[in-house]
Amino acid sequence: MLPILRERGVVREDYEQNTLRGNLGLPFAENRYTRARREGVDPAPLPGTTASLSASV
């Protein structure tokens, strides 16, 4: 069914972004890991753990 709709031009084949959120123009929720990567710091470990995520990788 989808190939037929694509032939008729009803369904898009290419999108500007690679996520639904991006294609709908919605802002991305920032979590502590993306914030730490942007700021160039190591994120704080989760409560109850002794090592950060990057130390275990």
Nearest CA to 39 out of 30, 52, 47 is that of 30
pTM over 0.75: no
Backbone phi, then psi, for 30, in 5-degree steps?
A: -95, 125
Angle at 26 between CA 21 and CA 30, to 5 degrees: 85
The answer to whether the CB of 27 falls within 8 A of the CB of 36 is: no
Q: Is the predicted pLDDT of residue 54 greater than 70, yes or no? A: no
Instruction: Please give the span between the terminal C-alpha atoms of the chain, in angstroms, as a whole number.
Output: 44
Q: Is the predicted pLDDT of residue 7 greater than 60, yes or no? A: yes
Instruction: Kindly state the DSSP code that residue 10 receives in the 8-state scheme.
Output: -
Query: What pLDDT sits at residue 18?
Result: 86
Query: What pLDDT sits at residue 1?
Result: 81
Q: Is the predicted pLDDT of residue 11 greater than 60, yes or no? A: yes
